[in-house]
Amino acid sequence: MFWMDYVVESLGLHGQGFRIKGDWPGEVMGFQKDGTPKDHYLYKPGDVFIVDENGWLRKTDELSVLLAKYEALKNERE
């Protein structure tokens, strides 16, 4: 699926975050213009993604595992 005509808005210069903006608030998070839910969305509040080595953001529900892996990698680099 291709999502077209969206704006990527960056939060700071060093990868602090970004968001995707649609034509109305909530469009990419599954809401119609009138606020009613849609049956599809790009992401929604509470979603967690991991960026893989090819730049793909992959949704995960294993936040505790993700944090443990991050801490282990951080400790290896120190």
Task: Give the Cα separation of 41 and 1 in Å (integer).
Answer: 11
pLDDT at 17 over 80: yes
Residues 21-74 pLDDT 10s: 999 999 999 999 999 999 999 998 888 888 889 989 888 877 777 788 888 888
Task: Give the Cα separation of 24 and 16 in Å (integer).
Answer: 23
